[in-house]
Amino acid sequence: MHANRRFLHTAFGITAKPIVFVPILMIFLLMILSLGSVDVAADNMVTNIGGIINHNSRIGKEQKTAMDIAVHNFNKRSTMHNLALHYHKLGGDPLKAAYAAKELINEKHVVVIIGMETWSETALVASVGNQAQVPVISLAAGAIKTRQWPLLVQMANDVSEQMNCIAAIVQSNWIRVVVVYEEDMYGGVPAMLPLLSEALHKVGSYIVLHFAVAPFSSLSNPKQFVHEKLMKLKSSQPRAFIVLHASLPMTTVLFTEAKKLDFVGKESFWVLTDSVASLLDSANSSFFSSMDGVVGIKTEYSENSKQYLEFYEQFRQRFQLEYAEEENYKPGIHALRAYDSITAITAALDRDKKTFTSERLLDSLTSTSFTGLSGEIRFEDGRLSYQSIYRVINIFNMTYNTLGYWSPDFGFSKSLDVAEYGKNDSSGKGNPFLKLVDGFIKPPGDLKRVPEGWTMPSLENPLIIGVPGNATSENLVKITSIKNSAEKIYSGFCIRVFEEVKRILEYDLPSRYVEFNGTYDNLVGNVANKVFQKGSPIAADISKAILRLTEDGTLKRLEEEWLTPSAECRNSQTDKNIDVLSFQSFWGLYLFSIATSSICCLLFLAKLLKSFYHDHESDDIHGSDDSVWNKTVRLGRYLYKAETGNPTRAPTSSRETPHIRNMIRLSKFKKRKNRENHFLFILGAER
């Protein structure tokens, strides 16, 4: 051994120390392996991808983390392609987004751009992508059907389905709604607003007010700004709100100030769209503190799959390291769709082993089909074609619970399997949403039912009931003054009916009677314009209550009590003095009719006799030997034929002159004379 050590010392000029030599050898081998690894990576084809995100928003942070994880996982397993992500961070300015897209295309030579949180950003970036022939994958919530940008791919479902779900919740319960949304940097409204208005119109509801707030980042004092905007709504009666679009900080300020002004709770009803409700998974506890009773919809996705659980662990670790200031490390739907967008690109890369270009990428993307973290991924007309199922949630006690599900094919159901595969389990009668939440929704306070979505009367502001001071019947309404007091007693049939209605309503209805001495038209106008405005739930509830009173006999009993005379009243002296219609009541009319008819009959007979006399006047002149009886019979026949409209003589014109009548008589006389001469001639011949 000593000889060997001397040999090493002689040959290499060093003293052999095994403990030092082994680590040196290991480092040498690792360097060789590392260089070999670099050479292999250098041989892989690199595809540049551009990312445009809002680094100040929670959504942007989630999207970046998710895309980093997706790229890391792909590069780790790929032997042919590598992905390189080039981010351009901005604060939600659409113009800056367009500038960033040009920079990524010209300087980083990206073949695709992913990101954009809002539709205004998407529109400008898509225009830049069209000019450069670079596909753009938008992560903005809610896809809008458009043919303006053929290279645009929207990683979202048709937003009209989401609006139909919101309308189905509002249907038949809240006719007048207030829509709340946060404007973009240039005062633009969400692109989904017209679709919401159309969906509400189909179910009989409409938007009465647009509650638009400026972007959160542009406000120096957001709390004061929102507080002043809400104060303007104090005089408005509709209390059904739809939060269409808002960032996480703006949503927090909105509900904090709304609760201070009693816009949250009691009879108010709030609905969150998917773009807002999806923030719940990423929000901290302060976000829920002012939202008890709020209802929202969220895109349904599985949180129990192996793929999701692996991603969740990676996301939690990376997000916590990079954004330690955040309290919640759970990914939302925005993170899942960002991850799926990278997965769609990698799926296209796996199919195409040749040189990758933007044109070939777009063709591969549109034909991609797989099951991602956010659900089924397949595209049609540049957007996801798979119909989403929305989970209906109710925020209560610093968290949210699931009320049920809604799908475009089957409507509301309490089972996910029914919403996805089976038939609708609702009866189809009434409002399916009310059947869904019956006994399960958790409104704030002591309310045991779905809020009315309307400013309801209270003890401080009761419902004013106008009572006519000059009513024609005291049985209907009667006002009795109290001596030495400004108060009055209101009674009568109408008052009793209204009290019975209040008794059977499902909620308290504080009211106060006020004497009204104006015209009836003014009274009705005040009721229609102030008490029962269009969309007021009180009118519908009172109508239903009156129907119940009719069905259970209460209304009939009140009619017998107040509107039917008693037996004593019918037998009283008052009844004896009441005139009753009888035969004697019309004796004057009968007498007048008889006298008029008699005079007309006599005039008619006189005219007929006159006509008879003129027709037979010639017979009397020449000494007709007819007996009285024959003349009487002839007169009777004449009268009869005149009555039946067939007189013996042809009728003459009403304009016949006396000269014409004389000519007719002369003609008859000549005919008679000729007959007599002819008769005498025959007699002479015989002799």
Q: Of the spans 17-31, 183-197, 447-461, which averages the highest pLDDT?
A: 183-197
Average pLDDT over residues 234-242: 75
Range 45-157+304-384 classified under CATH 3.40.50.2300? yes
State the amino acid at position 676 in one-letter form. Answer: E
Average pLDDT over residues 272-282: 86
pLDDT at 65 over 90: yes
CA distance 237 to 535: 10
CA distance 210 to 177: 9
Average pLDDT over residues 309-334: 90
Q: Please spell the DSSP secondary structure of 330-382, one letter per residue.
A: ---HHHHHHHHHHHHHHHHHHH--S---HHHHHHHHHT-EEEETTEEEEEETT
* pLDDT of res. 675: 54
* pLDDT of res. 311: 94
* Token duo for residue 459: 């003890």
pLDDT bracket for residue 185 (50, 70, 90): low
pLDDT at 683 over 50: no
Lowest mean pLDDT among 138-142, 147-151, 453-457: 453-457
* pLDDT of res. 456: 63
Average pLDDT over residues 390-400: 86
Lowest mean pLDDT among 47-51, 139-143, 587-591: 139-143
Residue closest to 51 by CA, chosen among 123, 9, 11, 105:
105
Looking at domain 159-301+388-437, which CATH architecture does it have? 3-Layer(aba) Sandwich (3.40)
* pLDDT of res. 455: 59
pLDDT bracket for residue 306 (50, 70, 90): very high
Looking at the DSSP bridge assignments, the partners of residue 182 are: 213
Q: What is the pLDDT of residues 600-615, one digit of tens each?
A: 888 887 877 777 777 6
Token pair 């019309």: residue? 586
Residue bearing the bigger pLDDT, 16 or 182: 182
Q: Of the spans 35-39, 526-530, 619-623, which averages the highest pLDDT?
A: 526-530
Contact 176, 206 (CB under 8 A): yes
* pLDDT of res. 235: 67
* pLDDT of res. 651: 47
* pLDDT of res. 609: 76
Q: Of the spans 281-295, 512-526, 631-645, which averages the highest pLDDT?
A: 281-295
Percent of the chain residues past pLDDT 90, beyond the cut: 14
Average pLDDT over residues 237-255: 86
pLDDT bracket for residue 239 (50, 70, 90): confident
Sign of the CA dihedral with 183 first, then 185, 186, and 190 last:
negative
* pLDDT of res. 13: 43
pLDDT at 537 over 70: no
Domain boundaries, the chain: 45-157+304-384, 159-301+388-437, 463-563
Contact 618, 669 (CB under 8 A): yes
> Cβ–Cβ contacts within 10 Å for residue 247, how many?
23
* pLDDT of res. 485: 79
Average pLDDT over residues 571-595: 68
Classify 136 as helix, strand or coil.
strand
* pLDDT of res. 150: 85
* pLDDT of res. 342: 92
Lowest mean pLDDT among 65-69, 92-96, 266-270, 682-686: 682-686
Average pLDDT over residues 278-285: 79
* pLDDT of res. 684: 47
CA distance 300 to 416: 9
Q: What are the angstrom distances between the C-alpha of 270 and each of 194, 262, 282, 286, 549?
A: 19, 13, 20, 18, 33
pLDDT at 589 over 70: yes
* pLDDT of res. 361: 77
Q: What is the pLDDT of residues 655-671, one digit of tens each?
A: 455 555 556 566 655 55
Q: What is the pLDDT of residues 1-54, one digit of tens each?
A: 444 444 334 433 444 444 444 445 454 444 443 333 333 344 568 889 999 988
* pLDDT of res. 308: 93
* Token duo for residue 580: 């009753």
* pLDDT of res. 611: 75
Residue bearing the bigger pLDDT, 38 or 433: 433
Average pLDDT over residues 199-227: 88
Average pLDDT over residues 310-339: 90
Q: Tell me whether domains 159-301+388-437 and 463-563 share a fold.
A: no
Residue closest to 101 by CA, chosen among 121, 71, 84:
121
Average pLDDT over residues 159-180: 85
pLDDT at 314 over 90: yes
Cβ burial of 370 (10 Å; 0-12, 13-18, 19+) is: exposed
Lowest mean pLDDT among 198-202, 355-359, 496-500, 520-524: 355-359
CA distance 271 to 394: 9
Q: What are the angstrom distances between the C-alpha of 108 and each of 21, 50, 398?
A: 46, 8, 45
* Token duo for residue 678: 């002819």
Q: Outline where DSSP puts E strands in 55-175.
A: 81-90, 112-115, 136-138, 152-154
* pLDDT of res. 433: 64
pTM for the model stands at 0.62
* pLDDT of res. 20: 45
CA distance 592 to 314: 109
* pLDDT of res. 343: 92
> Cβ–Cβ contacts within 10 Å for residue 59, how many?
26
pLDDT bracket for residue 674 (50, 70, 90): low
DSSP state letter for 143: B
Q: Report, in this order, helix, strand and coil percent for the chain, each rounded to 5.
A: 50, 15, 35
* pLDDT of res. 326: 84
Sign of the CA dihedral with 328 first, then 331, 335, and 337 last:
negative
Give the long-range contacts of residues 409-414, CB within 8 A, separation 24 or more: 411/168, 412/168, 412/436
* pLDDT of res. 49: 92
Cβ burial of 189 (10 Å; 0-12, 13-18, 19+) is: middle
Q: Mean of the per-residue pLDDT values for the chain?
A: 75
Residue bearing the bigger pLDDT, 221 or 542: 221
Which class does domain 463-563 fall in? alpha beta
* pLDDT of res. 183: 84
CA distance 427 to 430: 8
